[in-house]
C-alpha cells in the first residue's frame, strides 16, 4: 500500500493495483527504494523517539517492507499492516525483520491500547479517501482509522503520516477526521516551494499538544537549502552522517545478522566472504 515517492495513480483499490507483478516491479525499482528510504528517515525523525531505548512502531501501509528496513536499521522493532497480499508476499520473501498483518486499516487498527511508541505511514493514507465499494464512506473509514490508531498509541507518542493529497479538500478531510479522533498537531510541509521535492507529513500528537516541527527548506536561502539536501545524501565509505553503517556494506550486513540472531532467527555464520562483492560473471 505504500507509495512510490512519486504521486500514485489511483486505478482502483490498492489490493488490486499492487498485484504480484506491480509489487515486484515496485520493490526492485532503485529510485523508488531510495525515495522510500528518504521519506521513512524523515518520518522517523519527526516521531522524536527517545534515543536511549528501542521502540515498537506501527507501519501503516507497509507494502514490501522498505520503510521497515529503515526502522530496523535504527534499532527499533515494528509491525506492518497492508491490504495488498502481493506486497506482503514480497516482504516475506525479502525476510524483513518486522511482523506483518494483512488488513484494511479503514476498518480500524486491531491492537491493544497503548501498544505502540509511534506510527509512520508512507504514501498510504490518501487511499482511504477513495470509495472503492458502495459501502465505503471515506469520512467514516478515516475516522475509524484515526480513532483506533489513537487508542493503539502510547500517551505522549506521535504518528507521522506522509501522504499525497489530490487537492486541498482531501487534505482538510484527512486532517479533520484526525482531530475529531482526539489527535492534535498538523501538517509539516518540506520544501514547499519545490514542485518535485515538496512532501506532506501529517504530524499527530497523542494526549499532549507538542510543538509542530518545522518543514525542511522553509527558512534558509536557496544555496543553504541545496547544501542541506546534498549533505543528507553524502556518505562515507563505511559510515553515514549519523554514524550508521552504510547500507549493504560489510558492517551493515554484520549488524543486520546480529539483530536477527537476537530475535532467535536462523542466520548463516560470518566468514571472511560476508559482505564481499561478487565479481560479475561473463
Query: What is the model's pLDDT at position 28?
Result: 74
d(CA 75, CA 245): 12
Residue 225 forms part of a structural domain:
no
Q: Can you tell me which residue has the cell 529503515?
A: 70
DSSP state letter for 181: T
Q: Are residues 77 and 163 in the same domain?
A: yes
Instruction: Tell me, yes or no, whether 251 and 136 share the same domain.
Output: no
Q: Are the C-beta atoms of residues 217 and 193 closer than 8 Å to each other?
A: yes
Q: Is the pLDDT of residue 232 over 90?
A: no
Exposed, middle or buried, 176 (CB in 10 Å: 0-12/13-18/19+)? middle
Given a cut of 80, is residue 242 above it in pLDDT? no
Residue 195 and residue 80 share a domain: yes
Q: Could you tell me which residue, 231 or 239, shows the higher pLDDT?
A: 239
The last residue of one of the domains, among 183, 206, 229, is 206
pLDDT of 253 reads 74
Q: Please report the pLDDT score of residue 246 as a whole number.
A: 60
Q: Are residues 274 and 156 in the same domain?
A: no
pLDDT of residue 270: 77
In this prediction, residues 50-74 reach a mean pLDDT of 95
CA 170 to chain centre: 20
Asked whether residue 1 is domain-assigned, the answer is no
Phi, psi (rounded to 5 degrees) for 197: -90, -10
pLDDT, one tens digit per residue, over 254-270 is 777 777 676 666 777 77
Q: What percent of the chain is modeled with pLDDT above 90?
A: 55
Summarised one tens digit per residue, pLDDT across range 19-36 is 566 766 766 778 888 888
Asked if residue 18 has pLDDT above 50, the reply is yes
Q: 224 in a domain, yes or no? A: no
pLDDT in tens, 125-137: 999 998 777 777 9
| Three-state SS at 48 | coil
Please report which confidence band the pLDDT of residue 84 belongs to, taking 50, 70 and 90 as the band edges. very high
Q: What is the CATH number of the domain that holds 171?
A: 3.40.50.150
Confidence of residue 245 (pLDDT cuts 50, 70, 90): low
- Across-strand partners of 100? 80
Residues 89-93: what's their mean pLDDT?
94
Locus of grid cell 486541498: 168
171, 259: one domain: no
Beta bridge partners of 240: 235
Rounded to the nearest integer, the mean pLDDT of the chain is: 81
- Count of domains observed in the chain: 2
> Residue 257's pLDDT is what?
72
Examine the domain organization and report whether 102 and 177 are in the same domain: yes
Higher model confidence: residue 271 or residue 196? 196
Quick one: cell of 211? 510543538
Question: Residues of the chain with pLDDT > 70: what percent?
Answer: 73
**Domain limits at 44?**
8-206
Amino acid at each position: 500500500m505504500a507509495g512510490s515517492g512519486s504521486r500514485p495513480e489511483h486505478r482502483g483499490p490498492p489490493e488490486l493495483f499492487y498485484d504480484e507483478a506491480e509489487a515486484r516491479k515496485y520493490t526492485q525499482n532503485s529510485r523508488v527504494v531510495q525515495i522510500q528510504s528518504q521519506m521513512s528517515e524523515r518520518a522517523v525523525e519527526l516521531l522524536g523517539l527517545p534515543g536511549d531505548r528501542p521502540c515498537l512502531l506501527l507501519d501503516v501501509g507497509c507494502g514490501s517492507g522498505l520503510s521497515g528496513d529503515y526502522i530496523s536499521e535504527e534499532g527499533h522493532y515494528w509491525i506492518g499492516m497492508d491490504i495488498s497480499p502481493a506486497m506482503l508476499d514480497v516482504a516475506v520473501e525479502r525476510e524483513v525483520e518486522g511482523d506483518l498483518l494483512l488488513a484494511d486499516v479503514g476498518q480500524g487498527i486491531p491492537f491493544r491500547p497503548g501498544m505502540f511508541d509511534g506510527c509512520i505511514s508512507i504514501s498510504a493514507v490518501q487511499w482511504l479517501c477513495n470509495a472503492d465499494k458502495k459501502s465505503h464512506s471515506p469520512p467514516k473509514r478515516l475516522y475509524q482509522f484515526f480513532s483506533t490508531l489513537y487508542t493503539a498509541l502510547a500517551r505522549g507518542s506521535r504518528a507521522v503520516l506522509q501522504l499525497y493529497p489530490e487537492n486541498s479538500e482531501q487534505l482538510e478531510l484527512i486532517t479533520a477526521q484526525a482531530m475529531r479522533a482526539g489527535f492534535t498537531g498538523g501538517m509539516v510541509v518540506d520544501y514547499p516551494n519545490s514542485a518535485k521535492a515538496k512532501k506532506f507529513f501529517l504530524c499527530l500528537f497523542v494526549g499532549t499538544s507538542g510543538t509542530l516541527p518545522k518543514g525542511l527548506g522553509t527558512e534558509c536561502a536557496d544555496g543553504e537549502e541545496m547544501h542541506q539536501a546534498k549533505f543528507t545524501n553524502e556518505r562515507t565509505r563505511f559510515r553515514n552522517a549519523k554514524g550508521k553503517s552504510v547500507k549493504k556494506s560489510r558492517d551493515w550486513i554484520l549488524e543486520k545478522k546480529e539483530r536477527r540472531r537476537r530475535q532467535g532467527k536462523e542466520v548463516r555464520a560470518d566468514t571472511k566472504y560476508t559482505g564481499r562483492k561478487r565479481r560479475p560473471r561473463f
